[in-house]
Structures are given as structure tokens and as C-alpha cells.
Amino acid sequence: MTTDVRTDLYPTRGAAEMITPRQDPVIWSPPGAPGPVAVKDLQGFERDGFLGVDQLITPGEVAVYHAELDRLITDPVVRADERSIIEPKSQKVRSVFEVHRISEVFARLVSDERVVGRARQILGSDVYVHQSRINVKPGFGASGFYWHSDFETWHAEDGLPNMRAVSVSIALTENHDTNGGLMIMPGSHKSFLGCAGETPKDNYKKSLKMQDAGTPSDEALTKLADRHGIKLFTGKAGSATWFDCNCMHGSGDNITPYPRSNVFIVFNSVENAAEEPFAAPARRPEFIGARDFAPVR
Ligand SMILES: O=C(O)CCC(=O)C(=O)O
Ligand SMILES: [Fe+2]
């Protein structure tokens, strides 16, 4: 057995749940640094942990990306790939990971200045893609994502040392208030909820379908929700939500007939590259937690 001598700013997966105040900035670029995000929007992001953009991509572009999503989820080779996660009940494709690597169309989206430029501005450096995925959420019973902080997983299982990552969720179908849209607790990104319980081996195989290790208790979620409230994100196809890596967030099932399909891209600062996991027996596969830290150009 080896002893981990690194400083761990965010202890998690121990004997008991515990709260650590955030040790990192939310906005990493110096005040006044140029970029596509307006000053007041950066301030809102700092305060709330998220930023909504009404139209990040045009309706014409939505059509292109949506067609690519359809192509990927109906391709039997993609379905059989380990990058695809299948809903246990309906046997439909739930997510496809690493879409920026398996699809030129999504690769273009990642390096689009409207996308990567915002990530660079928030993180104050060059950035690489830690993870990308499409979340399909078809109608008639697709299951949701239980409450979690992405950073809790990325720290514990992928070894991201600091809170210096940001996600963008771009809607490829309309996000109604009924079809399982994203919910965030505003301001929850300022404290880190370390979860109780050791990480089992190959946890990701189960956690991608249903979270278990890394899941907050009912008591902690009640406290957080009482303190911060819960905001539901709705918007037309082409709208986007940027959110900090440590936001407490989740989404409900989609029992409507209307699919809620999004593309997610997670940017991490090149100065915050993944190390060894802080609280898991082994690294997750690279299609979930990248080890190629080449900056997006
Ligand atoms: O958009 C959703 O339903 C939430 C997805 C999510 O939290 C994730 O992919 O980490
Ligand atoms: Fe998440």
C-alpha cells in the first residue's frame, strides 16, 4: 500500500459526509480580461455558479448537430461501443461519451470560439476537454440524473486537484419545464460536499446509469435546497447553460413524449490537469476522464 502525500483540498468518500468551503476562485481570469462573456454575466456566474445563454448556436446549426446525434445513436457500431450507455429499462441509448473524438461535427463545436472562448475566459487559461457527451433523454420514461456535484466525482475518481473546470450544456431539443431539464441549486458551488462511503472498484459502470458512491444524503440535500433554492433551466433548442464544476445539480425523469437531448462539454484548465484519483482505487477510462491535455485550438 502506498500513502498519498498530496494535499487534498476537498476530502470525500470518507467515513462521514463533510462540508469544506470552496478553496478556489470561480472566475480565474483577472478582472477586465477580454472575452465573449460580459462583465455582469461573469459576476452572475461567480455568484450563482451558472450562466444561461439564450441562443448560443443558430437554428440551422441545431439541425446539423441534432442530425449528428441521431446518426450516432442509431449507428449499431456506436451503440455497441463502450462509450455508449444504455438505459437499463428501455434499452435505449442514454448517453454517448467522447463525442468530440468520434464525430467531426461535434469536434467542430468544441473548438468554436463561442464555446471554447467562454471556457477560456472563465478558467483564465488554455483549456482541454475533460469529458464530452450527448445526453439523449428520449420521451416516455428516460431516467434522470440524481443530485450530484460533478467536481466531487472528477476529484475523487479522475484526480482533478482544483475547482477549475466548467461545463456547457447545449440544448438540441426544447427544454420545457416538464421534460427533465437541468436543475441547479444557485450558489451551491461555493461549498464542497464531501460524500460518505468508499468508492467501489469500477464504480463508473454503475454510476453512469445510477449514482451511488458520491451521492449526497437526504439531510445534506435538504439543507442545501433550503439555503439556495432550486432553479430549473428551460430554453429553446440552441440555448445553453454554462455551469461551474461544483454546482449541486440533477434532473428528473422524462415521462413526456418530448425528448430532452443536449450535448455536454466539460472544459478543464490545462493548469489543472488530471492526476491520480483522490478517492478511488483506479483511474476511470479515458473516454470518461481524459488524459490527453492538449489545449483546444
Ligand atoms: O442534463 C442532465 O440531465 C444532467 C446531466 C448531468 O448532470 C451530467 O451529465 O453530469
Ligand atoms: Fe452532472
pLDDT of residue 89: 83
pLDDT: which is higher, 158 or 32: 158
pLDDT of residue 200: 81
pLDDT of residue 203: 76
Distance 204 CA to ligand 2 centre (A): 13
pLDDT of residue 208: 59
Q: What pLDDT, in 10s, does the model give residues 9-23?
A: 999 999 999 999 999
Q: What pLDDT, in 10s, does the model give residues 158-215?
A: 999 999 999 999 999 999 999 999 999 999 999 999 999 888 888 777 665 555 677 9
C-alpha to C-alpha distances, 265 to 116, 235, 243, 256, nearest whole angstrom:
10, 18, 11, 25
Q: For a pLDDT cut of 70, what percent of the chain falls above it?
A: 97
pTM: 0.95
Distance 184 CA to ligand 2 centre (A): 10
SS3 readout for the chain: CCCCCCCCCCCCCECCCEEEECCCCCCCCCCCCCCCCCHHHHHHHHHHCEEEECCCCCHHHHHHHHHHHHHHHHCHHHHHCCCEEECCCCCCEEEEECHHHHCHHHHHHHHCHHHHHHHHHHHCCCEEEEEEEEECCCCCCECCEEEEEHHHHHHHHHCCCCCCEEEEEEECCCECCCCCCEEECCCHHHEEEECECCCCCCHHHHHCCCCECECCCHHHHHHHHHHHCCEECCECCCCEEEEECCCEEEECCECCCCCCCEEEEEEEEHHHCCCCCCCCCCCCCCCCCCCCCCCCC
pLDDT: which is higher, 87 or 73: 73
Distance 31 CA to ligand 1 centre (A): 30
pLDDT of residue 130: 98
Tell me the mean pLDDT in the region 151-161: 98
Q: What pLDDT, in 10s, does the model give residues 217-268?
A: 999 999 999 999 999 999 999 999 999 999 999 999 999 999 999 999 999 9
Q: Is the CB of residue 243 below 6 angstroms from any atom belonging to ligand 1?
A: no
* Residue 270 contacts residue 161 (beta carbons within 8 Å): no
pLDDT of residue 30: 95
**pLDDT beyond 80 at 65:** yes
User: Which ligand neighbours the alpha carbon of 171 most closely?
Assistant: 1
User: Which ligand neighbours the alpha carbon of 182 most closely?
Assistant: 1
pLDDT of residue 169: 98
Q: For a pLDDT cut of 90, what percent of the chain falls above it?
A: 89
pLDDT: which is higher, 86 or 1: 86
* Residue 295 grid cell: 489545449
pLDDT of residue 202: 81
Q: Is the CB of residue 145 below 6 angstroms from any atom belonging to ligand 1?
A: yes
pLDDT of residue 248: 98
Distance 183 CA to ligand 1 centre (A): 9
Q: What pLDDT, in 10s, does the model give residues 279-296?
A: 999 999 999 999 999 999
**pLDDT beyond 70 at 270:** yes
Average pLDDT, the chain: 95
pLDDT of residue 201: 82
